[in-house]
Amino acid sequence: MEEKALKAKAGMPMLILFILLYIAAIGSVILGASIVDTLGTAGTVLIIAGALWIVLGFIFFFGLKVIKPQEALVLTLFGKYVGTIKEAGFYFVHPFSVAVNPASKTKLGQSGDVDSGPSSKFFISTGTGAVQTERSNKKISLKIMTLNNSKQKVNDVLGNPVEIGIAVMWKVVDTAKAVFNVDNFKEYLSLQCDSAVRNIVRIYPYDIVPGVDTTGDGEPDEGSLRGSSAIVAQRILEEIQSKVKDAGIEIIEARITYLAYAPEIAAVMLQRQQASAIIDARKMIVDGAVGMVEMALDKLNENDIVKLDEERKAAMVSNLLVVLCGNKDAQPILNSGSLY
């Protein structure tokens, strides 16, 4: 169902008209009561007409609607969609038209998720006491809101459980679709966010793993949840948008707000990361030490500082590697004799 604008009448002239009619009705009753003895039927007619408006005229006040900026009111008349009012102002619509917003009482875990408008509380007297009932406003907010979906546990492409949370900026762009195409557009959005996160996260590993294709082109790449968070968020956005388009919702932005290994494997994965970091650091140290030893031997041979045979070279290489690759400072030992 496509949204259509409702051409409503200005509310202020109608309000003034209804008030004047009430004054006229009261005057008609008074006037009819004063002339009923002289004119008879005419006085009775004035009394009945005035009394009917006094009793039933309040119904027309139900057609007065106030729309604030960035709000919309979806109206139906006897079950038929008649249009949406989006422009801020004071309007008069059919007094029997009904505002529709099935998500008016739905609260999501998000910033800016407030009531569509002020709620009124009233009490209904029953046989056992008074029951408090809340009547929510049926206006739909057109503001940009942020949905902070709760963290959820998902397995990555390697089967490792990770916890991830996302924040989605969204707004309603088609009120008719939001109201009539889905049962509750807020709950629908939250469900689609959960589904999109699961569909995208299972494509990526947490860290870069060789031989994994995350783009679907058949070629291994270096995509990962931790290293390609912007790309992952964009793919989640596109996945959500494809699902909520029919609900009249536009996704502005999606961001990953939380990403970590699940608690049951977090300690093991931390040890793995530490071991990998230690290995990489050792490899760099060894590569640098070998280069320094090679440079030292070349300098000694180039300047003819000392002639070393193969055995002395091996001893020198061993000593230099111990000094350069050791975790602690070397403790030198002075040799006053010869090597043999």
The residues facing 116 across adjacent strands are none
Q: Is 107 contained in some domain?
A: no
pLDDT at res. 126: 36
Domain boundary among 261, 293, 309: 261
- 238 pLDDT higher than 90: yes
Q: Is 120 contained in some domain?
A: no
Residues 195, 273, single domain; the answer is no
Domain boundary among 216, 243, 261: 261
Which of the two residues, 104 and 247, has the higher pLDDT score? Answer: 247
Matching residue, tokens 């004047």: 20
- CATH number of the domain to which 199 belongs: 3.30.479.30
The total of structural domains in the chain comes to 3
Residues 164, 237, single domain; the answer is yes
Q: Is 330 contained in some domain?
A: no
pLDDT at res. 211: 82
Q: What is the pTM of this model?
A: 0.69
Residues 237, 282, single domain; the answer is no
Answer yes or no: are the C-beta atoms of 231 and 223 closer than 8 Å. yes
Residues 313, 243, single domain; the answer is no
Q: What is the mean pLDDT of the chain?
A: 80
pLDDT at res. 315: 75
Residues 287, 252, single domain; the answer is no
Matching residue, tokens 């169902």: 1
Listed range (124-128, 155-159, 187-191) with the worst mean pLDDT: 124-128
Q: Is 105 contained in some domain?
A: no
pLDDT at res. 263: 81
The per-residue pLDDT for range 175-223, each reduced to its tens digit, is 999 999 999 999 999 999 999 999 999 999 888 888 888 887 878 888 8
Q: Is 338 contained in some domain?
A: no
**Beta strands in 11-148, from DSSP E residues, in sequence order:** 64-67, 71-77, 80-85, 89-92, 98-99, 110-111, 120-125, 130-135, 140-141, 145-148
Residues 235, 157, single domain; the answer is yes
Alpha-carbon gap, residue 184 to 191, rounded angstroms: 11
SS3 78: coil
Most confident of 31-40, 123-132, 143-152, 174-183: 174-183
Residues 202, 249, single domain; the answer is yes
Q: Is 38 contained in some domain?
A: yes
Q: Is 336 contained in some domain?
A: no
pLDDT at res. 266: 62
pLDDT at res. 131: 36
Alpha-carbon gap, residue 331 to 259, rounded angstroms: 46
If you average pLDDT over residues 43-51, what whole number do you get?
83
pLDDT at res. 2: 81
Domain boundary among 67, 100, 133: 100
pLDDT band, residue 119 (cuts 50/70/90)? very low
The residues facing 140 across adjacent strands are 72
Residues 43, 62, single domain; the answer is yes
Residues 241, 278, single domain; the answer is no
Q: What is the per-residue burial (b if ≥16 Cβ within 10 Å, else e) of 190-202?
A: bebbeebbeebbe
Q: Which amino acid is at 63?
A: G
The pLDDT > 90 percentage for the chain reads 35
pLDDT band, residue 248 (cuts 50/70/90)? very high
Which of the two residues, 32 and 95, has the higher pLDDT score? Answer: 95
**Which range marks the domain in which residue 292 is found?**
267-325
Alpha-carbon gap, residue 32 to 41, rounded angstroms: 9
Residues 135/139/145/147 CA torsion (nearest 10 deg)? 50
Q: Is 193 contained in some domain?
A: yes
